[in-house]
């Protein structure tokens, strides 16, 4: 919101007429103090919003890194190598030479 010089002069004239020239410095001090408090409150809110907005992102990034690390370390074949199941070789049956195999049945 931008005020032109004419609009600011009209506001100043209205304040002088309403409150008198004696109260003008007191009103200006009060307005300045109020503006400073508002700016401080807005800065505090901005800081809190940035902390809250940044915090979940950094937590998500940490979780992603943990998952990546776990995925790199995970080797499902490492567990199976020690298993006796893999040490035993099952004989392979050639179905073309096996007469007991009937294949799919159609109706």
Tens-digit pLDDT profile for residues 25-53: 888 899 899 999 999 999 999 988 887 77
Q: List % helix, strand, coil for the chain (3-state, nearest 5).
A: 70, 0, 30
Q: Which residue shows structure tokens 């159609």?
A: 106
Q: Is residue 7 part of a domain?
A: no
Per the structure, the complete domain to which residue 41 belongs is given by: 13-71
Q: Is residue 101 part of a domain?
A: no
Q: Is residue 21 part of a domain?
A: yes
pLDDT at 59 over 60: yes
Q: Is residue 40 part of a domain?
A: yes
**Against a cut of 0.85, is the pTM above it?**
no
What percent of the chain has pLDDT above 70? Answer: 66
Residue 27 contacts residue 15 (beta carbons within 8 Å): yes
Q: Is residue 35 part of a domain?
A: yes
Name the domain count of the chain.
Answer: 1
Q: Is residue 63 part of a domain?
A: yes
Q: Is residue 104 part of a domain?
A: no
Q: Is residue 65 part of a domain?
A: yes
């Amino acid at each position: 919101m931008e005020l032109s010089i004419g609009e600011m002069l009209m506001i100043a004239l209205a304040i002088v007429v309403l409150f008198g020239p004696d109260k003008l410095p007191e009103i200006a001090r009060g307005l300045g103090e109020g503006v400073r408090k508002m700016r401080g409150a807005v800065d505090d809110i901005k800081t809190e919003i940035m902390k809250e907005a940044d915090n979940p992102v950094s937590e998500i990034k940490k979780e992603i890194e943990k998952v990546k690390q776990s995925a790199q370390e995970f080797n499902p074949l490492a567990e199976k190598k020690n298993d006796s199941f893999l040490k035993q070789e099952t004989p392979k049956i050639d179905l073309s030479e096996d007469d007991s195999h009937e294949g799919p049945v159609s109706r």
